[in-house]
A and B are shown apart, each in its own frame.
Chain A
Amino acid sequence: MLRHRVIPCLDVADGRVVKGRRFQDLTDEGDPAELAERYALEGADELVFLDITAAPERRGTLLDIVDRTARRAFIPLTVGGGVRSVDEMRAVLRAGADKVSLNTAAVNDLMLIEACARTFGRQAVVVAIDARMTMSGTWEVVVKGGREPTGLDAVDWAERAVGLGAGELLVTSIDRDGTGNGFDTALLRAIAERVSVPVIASGGAAGPDDFIAAIRDGGADAVLAASIFHRGIRTISEVKEAMAVAGLPIRLVPELVA
């Protein structure tokens, strides 16, 4: 039976892991490759790096981190942030990533998802959707790290992105991100009901109950969090054990079970 994945996300800026509240007030939390290896040993099912500076002149730094991480952590790695073309995606995959997540660039250039899926297969294309609730109770896609509204309905965009070739969706509630108020399960449910690809829940996790709710109530396939793992508030194995106790199928890491 397919397991629900627990995925630590490492926001990377200038070669370091950082985390802020609602994409602001960044603090330094360590070396990406070192943290990645630690998480892999603790039972992370996959890793996500989001390059939140993504300035073109810093690309080399990111590719170096991807290479070092791929050589230390033998679990899948998704890299996002600033990829705008097939060639840029190729460079990130060749450096050792398994998937690339597209966000702002996919909104700006609809053909990008299609071109990347055709070249690398849809399994390598993750579309990241940052969504904010509107006054009317729907969700709007925001880009540029949550700073810029697009006018796109998040659920419609999710469906469109899958139609264009997205093999997975990473859905972040900007309202919840960094708050510890739990995932936006209504947002997750609205999207998961409309697409057949796996949905990764992101934004707002504080404890194991939130992960369980994202899967049970939100219909997510996988759950992602950053600060609660970086700051040692919860370990990955603690979260996975709680999910297993709740009856969810998860991968118990052989090293930890013994």
Chain B
Amino acid sequence: MIDEKTDEILSRHLDGDLDAEEARLLTERLKRDPAIVEGLNEMQRLRQSLRQLALDERPPKVLDQMVRPLRRAGRPMRQRWAAAALVAAAAVVVVGVIVVEEIGRTGWMPWTQTEKAERQIFALSNLPARDPDAPIGAVESLLSREDPEPTLAEPELLEMIGPLNFPPGSIDFVMAIKIDEVQIPISFVEGARGLELVLEIEQGQVVSCTPQDGIGNTSTADEICRLMISIAGTGLGDGQHRGVVVRWKREGR
């Protein structure tokens, strides 16, 4: 059994981290102790195995498709972000988000006629038919468009981000919405197919994510912000159709 101290020497030797004196002492010990030689050889073989494992990894092609919009978009436009954030600081942006795990099965009937009129801006018609096996990722329109301005009459799919399917009543992961100092209520469809969430954002960070029983907050907004949301989880839906549809519009025009 090789002691820990010797293992550290062997490990450093493997990485070329020994000084001349340490290397000389190790050489002496290797001549005398076959167990240490075997320990070193085993360490080297494991290292080769790990390297081979790393080189053998092949990312699935679907990753290329998921990342394609980013690859085509080139560098992010920081100034544009900053400008949008400044305007957004004085605004509240309402974003409708709908879970699409049942696309193709029942279609969408997210809102009832008794709901407030302003919520209609988030009402989504049936989404365009999509290949259920198609990758989920930000659609190119979000990343390539300088100033997306969907109108009330012409709601628009701006981004599909995924995956999204989370246990009813809980969110296990939310990250990165890059807008500073703005409160963004996000409404998910309530009912058999989804949940309603309210994301509270401060200084660009999600500070709360609260499942609600009813329809989420609505408010006026005088500017559109670019929004990138990523939510992941497990447990809801059929596991085939996942994603988030985001729409927004400029109000007060």
Partners in one complex: no
